[in-house]
Amino acid sequence: MTHSTSSAQAWQDEYSTRIMKSAALPLAELVRGEGCYVWDSEGTKYLDFLAGIAVNALGHAHPVLVDAVSRQIATLAHVSNYFATPPQLELAERLLRLSGGDRVFFGNSGAEAIEAAIKLARRTGRPRILALQDSFHGRTMGSLSLTGKPALREPFEPLLPNVEHIDSTVEALEAALGSDVAALVVEPIKGEAGVVDLPAGYLAAARELTSRHGTLLIIDEIQTGAGRTGSWFAFQQHGIVPDAIALAKGIGGGVPIGALIAYGAAADLLTAGQHGSTFGGNPLATAAANAVLGEIERAGLVENARRRGDELRRILAGLPLVEEVRGAGLLIGVGLSGALAPAVTSAAMAAGLIVNAPNDTSIRIAPPLIIGDTEIAEFTEKFTTALEAVAAKGPE
C-alpha cells in the first residue's frame, strides 16, 4: 500500500481505521512544505497561516534548520541525561540570555514543560495551584488539571486535587490567593480559547499579588514564546519578572522540544534526582532549537512579527464578518460576527489558505515569523475570498 499518492478517500479510510479516535478527521493529508507553503497528497498548494499551531517559526524546510538537524543527527543525536552535550549547553545559555532566567529544564513538549512547572510548584510545600478559566495548558493528567476547559477535563476526572480555575480578573485572583497557594499559572494570551488577551494590567497586578503572598507566578509561553508576539516572550511586554516560564511549540521550529525556565529562588527548587526525561535536552532537539532561535535573532524575526502583525491587524479590521481582532504580533485572534469559524476555515482551505478555528466564533492566525509582503498580499486575497463566500451564504 502506498502512502505517497493516496486519494482523499483512501487516506481518510486509513486514518479512521488505524489512528486512535482521540482527534477529529484531519482536513487534508500533507506531504511537503517549503517556506510558508504546504502541499497535500492531491497536489493542492496551501498558504500556511497556522504553522502547525505556532510551531513552524521559520516556515517549512528552512535551510538553516534542515542543515543544523542534518549535521547534528550525523554527529550525535542522543546520549541520555547522564551526559552533557554542546548543543544543550548552548541552548541553555541562549534561552537564559533571551529570557533573563536563571536555570532551565528541558523536556519534549508543552505538556511536559507544564508538568515540570507543577513539580516546581509542589516543591514550595504549598498545596494549592491557581489557573484561569478557559485556559489551556496541555493534555497530560497534570497539565490537564490546570487546563480550564471543563469539556476536556471531565472525561478524565479525578485529576490533580487543589487546583482552582478562577476568572481572569484581579479581583478573583486577590480573593483566591493565600499562604497555601503554591503557584498561579497563566497564559499571557489564551491561545486555545481563541487568542484572547488578558485584561490590561492583569500580569503586572498578578506579579504584585503573587509576590506579596510568596506564590510563584508561572507563565505559560508555550504558544506566545519564541518571538511570536513581537517580543521574545510575551511577559516582556508587561514589565514583570516571573518565577518560571514554560516553553515549547515555536522554539524547536517543528522538532519536539519543551523547556521550563525558572528565575531567582524558584530556579533552585528542584534538586538532584527529582525530575527528568529520557529525551529531554538531547543534542538533536537542542541543536534544532539553537538553529531556530539563532535564525530568529539573525534575521530580525521578532521585529518582523511585530511589524507584520500590525499590518495584518489593520487589514483584518476592515474585512467582512470581522468583529474584533485580538492577540499580539503574529498570534492573532479574529472574532467573527457569529458562529461562522468552521465555515470560514473550510472556505479558506478551498481558497488555498490554512487558518484555524479554536472555537465557533474565532479564527486563529499564527503564520511563520518569516512572512513578508507577498504572503500578506496573498493571505489578504484568500482570506477575503473565504469571508465573502461565507457572508454570501448568510446566517446558518
Ligand X SMILES: *Cc1c(COP(=O)(O)O)cnc(C)c1O
Give catalytic residues, as residue numbers: 136, 220, 249
The burial of 359, by beta-carbon neighbours within 10 Å (0-12 exposed, 13-18 middle, 19 or more buried), is given as middle
Binding mask 289-328 for ligand X (x = CB under 6 A): ----------------------------------------
Q: Closest approach of Cβ 139 to ligand X, in Å?
A: 6
Interface with ligand X, residue 138, by CB under 6 A: yes
Q: Per CB under 6 A, which region of 35-43, 104-112, 193-201, 328-336 contacts ligand X?
A: 104-112
* CB half-sphere exposure, 224, CA atoms < 13 A: 31
Smallest separation, CB 159 to ligand X (Å) = 15
How far apart (Å, rounded) are the C-alpha atoms in residues 53 and 226?
Answer: 13
Closest to ligand X by CB, 331 or 371 = 331
Q: How far apart are the first and last CA of the chain?
A: 41
Helix (H, G, I), strand (E, B) or coil at 333: strand
User: Are 263 and 246 contacting, i.e. CB atoms less than 8 angstroms apart?
Assistant: no
If we measure between CA atoms, which residue out of 203, 210, 208, 201 comes closest to residue 224? 203
Does residue number 233 form part of the binding site for ligand X (CB under 6 A)? Answer: no
CA 210 vs CA 33, 140, 224: distances in Å: 44, 26, 22
How far is the C-alpha of 303 from the C-alpha of 272, rounded, in Å? 39
Q: Which stretch binds ligand X (CB under 6 A): 13-21, 40-48, 136-144, 373-381?
A: 136-144
Interface pick for ligand X out of 35, 52, 101, 110 (rule CB under 6 A): 110
- Shortest Å, Cβ 206 to ligand X: 16
Query: Which residue among 187, 243, 295, 375 contacts ligand X (CB under 6 A)?
Result: 187
Task: Closer to ligand X by CB, 101 or 191: give it.
Answer: 191
Which residue type does 354 have? I
CB 276 within 8 A of CB 115: no
| Stretch of residues binding ligand X (CB under 6 A), selected from 22-30, 184-192, 211-219, 233-241 | 184-192
Contact residues toward ligand X (CB under 6 A) are 109-111, 114, 136-138, 187, 191-192, 220, 222-223, 248-249
